[in-house]
Chains A and B, each alone.
Chain A
Amino acid sequence: MSISWYLLVSAAMFGLGAIGVMVRRNPLVILLCLELMLNAGNLALIGFARMWGNGDGQIFAIVVMVVAACEVAIGLGIIVALYRRRLPVDVDELTELHG
């Protein structure tokens, strides 16, 4: 298979993740859709690493995975803290930072 097919799959995944972030209201599901977008980036990085035939892109993908794990830890911590304070777990009702 040519590399461009992998990149097209990656583009479709990124678009789906973007739709999810825009449509869904539950912050948990929004985090999941962010994961989709990060993984689309990972697939593109690894496709390009295969295209060039060296491993630098794979290192990039591993760093992206680390960043995603950190984001998940912090995001889920915030969601648990919201739940503890009996705040609605809904991004449309959380408008405390609304200017």
Chain B
Amino acid sequence: MGFFFVVFGVVALAGAVGVVVLRNPFYCVLSLVVHLIALALLFLLLEAQFVAAAQIVVYAGAVMVLYVFVVAYVGGGDRPAALWRASARQRALAIAFGAAVFIELSIAILGSGLRALGTGGPDVPAGFGAPAQIGELLLTRFLLPFELASFLLLVAAVGAVALAGRRGGLGEDRDLSPGRSTLDLPIPAARGTMAEGVAGYGVTTPMPDPEYKGRKLEEGEGV
């Protein structure tokens, strides 16, 4: 057990160092993949089987593929000077602060009153960390966080499409001249309402100003 912990811990830390140190962003991503896989193995040592599997599938699989695509698209290698240009003083300060964070956390961990930290943890039943236990917890005690997480994913997906979509972007110039808005686009005669479905196409529906837009189109002012 101790042997595996040392191996996986060293690989995980080496991957983390690689992410920080390597100059080419593509190699940084690959280094993070190595780090994440070693981390998933550490999770396995901690009896968290489902989280380890999710880590490999979601993180080392899906998220890292996204990173690789964006690195290939943006092409991080074209501005080598901009990737690693921190001055020596800033770098020294950053390393000092990072070391201070590590030392503080270590003091907090080693000086903590939790006596169970010094042990390997209590004996757990055979199903600990298995999908059955995680699923039961997610659908009973943690149902609200589960639903909120799904909603958050939906919002993030919509936001990503809105940000990176071809006809969007951050204030990218749309194809709208100053005097017009999307409300001026031509409105079709049939609106797909229930009244049209019942009474047939062409029956006037109680909606405002379909006549005005139609006439504007016939005169060639629209579009």
Contact = CB atoms under 8 A, between A and B. Distances in A.
Interface of A: 1-20, 22-26, 28-29, 31-33, 35-36, 39, 42-43, 46-47, 49-53, 55-56, 58-59, 61-63, 65-74, 76-85, 88-90, 92-93
Interface of B: 1-2, 5, 9, 12-13, 16-17, 19-20, 25, 28-29, 32, 35-36, 39, 42-43, 45-48, 50-51, 54-55, 58-59, 62-63, 66-67, 70-71, 73-74, 76, 79, 82-86, 90-91, 93-95, 97-99, 101-102, 105-106, 109-110, 114, 116-124, 128-129, 133-134, 137-138, 141-142, 145, 149, 152-153, 155-157, 159-164, 168-170, 172
The prevalent SS among residues of B at the interface is: helix
B78 to A, nearest CB: 9
Contacts of A19: 20, 94-95, 97-98
B109 A11 contact: yes
B54 A6 contact: no
Nearest to A16: B16
A56 B145 CA distance: 12
8 contacts: A3-B117, A11-B101, A26-B83, A32-B28, A36-B16, A58-B137, A81-B172, A89-B82
